């Protein structure tokens, strides 16, 4: 749990130093990694939240547009597929879809497999909006890593895969940003 060679001390180093003094038994081999991942996740989240208002989108709207766009042509999914993909409630999905439909970005249409159910599909304007947002999102995330070398980014991605960060379903998101731990 020591700072690697490279940049000087940072807020995580200061946090670890304080815990070494105050309550060293709370430090584990994973403490530094988890704190750095938490800070990185916050920076990436802030980058995303920073570009979406300029595109007229909320995070939930972006998530739905992105999920539909990555589904491939004809860019449609069942509401329950969106619920599973985005970890939102069905009521939350419905409200966001209603808003997107009102803006002409998505349509509700009958399912081709089951006339009793509906599909949510991107309109042409929805595809364009999704692609604009995805490009802005990618650019914003790229900026977060601007100081890191491509080799460091690649090594970090490989290391996170090795420690299992990308395994299994994502945990349920917290309801508010106020619950984030800064311990």
Residue, of 107 and 90, whose pLDDT is higher: 107
Q: How far apart are the first and last CA of the chain?
A: 16
Asked if 47 contacts 37 with a C-beta cutoff of 8 angstroms, the reply is no
pLDDT at 111: 85
What does the DSSP assignment read for 60-73? HHHHHHHHHHHT-T
Look at residues 48, 101, 95 and name the one whose alpha carbon lies nearest to residue 76: 101
pLDDT at 169: 58
For residues 145 and 122, what is the distance between their CA atoms, to the nearest angstrom?
31
pLDDT at 177: 39
Domains of the chain: 40-162 (1.10.10.10)
Query: What sign has the CA pseudo-torsion 78, 82, 84, 85?
Result: positive
pLDDT at 6: 61
Q: Which single residue is written with the structure tokens 């349509």?
A: 107
What is the pTM assigned to this prediction? 0.79
Look at residues 140, 173, 177, 176 and name the one whose alpha carbon lies nearest to residue 50: 140
């Amino acid at each position: 749990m020591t700072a690697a060679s490279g940049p000087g001390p940072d807020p995580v180093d200061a946090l670890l130093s304080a815990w070494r003094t105050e309550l060293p038994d709370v430090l584990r081999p994973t403490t530094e990694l988890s704190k750095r991942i938490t800070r990185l996740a916050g920076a990436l989240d802030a980058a995303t939240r920073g570009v979406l208002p300029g595109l007229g989108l909320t995070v939930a709207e972006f998530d739905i547009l992105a999920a539909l766009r990555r589904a491939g042509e004809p860019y449609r999914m069942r509401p329950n597929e969106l619920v599973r993909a985005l970890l939102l409630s069905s009521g939350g999905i419905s409200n966001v879809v209603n808003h997107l439909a009102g803006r002409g970005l998505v349509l509700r249409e009958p399912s081709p497999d089951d006339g009793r159910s509906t599909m949510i599909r991107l309109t042409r304007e929805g595809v364009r909006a999704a692609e604009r947002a995805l490009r802005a999102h990618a650019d914003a995330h790229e900026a977060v890593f601007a100081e890191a070398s491509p080799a460091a980014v690649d090594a970090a991605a490989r290391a996170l895969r090795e420690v299992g960060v990308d395994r299994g379903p994502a945990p349920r998101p917290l309801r508010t940003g106020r619950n984030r731990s800064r311990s």
